[in-house]
Amino acid sequence: MVDLSVYEGIVFDMDGTLVDSMPAHMEAWRHACEHYGYPFDLEYMNSLGGVPTRQTVVILNEKFGVNHDPSAVAQYKREAWEAMKLEPVLIESTMAVFEHYRPSMAIGIGTGAERSHAEHLLSAHGLLARIDSLVTATDVSNGKPHPETFLTVARQMGIEPDKCVVFEDTDIGYQAARDAGMDCIMVKDGKIQA
């Protein structure tokens, strides 16, 4: 078990870190990109993991020189996701950390997902009632890579940012954690990179 005894709080990203939902998100993005005429590049889209959906559309618009309505594209992507009716599974390595430290440490989740999606996913796995803070794209003005998500989690848990450690699966999330003044442990393909 990774030793987190120097910290007072743990912040998990959700998609791809605590819940194995990234393949389903990428499939939903593939549908949205094809519908709106964006070239779909799986590696590039994975690199945007953690960026709120509407902001991802802004990035795609700039990259490909188009001007699609971010709300419309986000809605299409959400409907594609919901139509798949997939229930992602928990990631064993990070859930082991969650279970080990839950009795003694505050735990929060900072995600680029919308609140309704995050609450549904966490409730389905019995986690929503077991965390001290949930901050979603719906709750912040600036999504990752801005540090606002993680700083808000720390504030809600009542813990100084430098006493928190973040578990993340994307470089964008890593940057957000570091800019928040938090240590960050990466999770790649479901494995903790400690």
Handedness of CA 168, 58, 74, 29 (dihedral sign): negative
Cα–Cα distance for residue pair 50/13, rounded to 1 Å: 8
Q: Which residues of 64-97 are buried (b: 16+ CB within 10 A; e: fewer)?
A: eeeebebeebbebbbebbeeeeeebebbebbbeb
Q: At what angle do helices 70-84 and 22-36 cross, to 10 degrees?
A: 130
Is position 15 annotated as part of the catalytic site? no
CA angle 110, 99, 117 (to 5 degrees): 35
User: In this structure, what token pair is assigned to residue 31?
Assistant: 């549908």
CA angle 140, 142, 143 (to 5 degrees): 85
Cα–Cα distance for residue pair 185/168, rounded to 1 Å: 6
Catalytic residue among 3, 13, 20, 189: 13
* Residues with catalytic function: 13
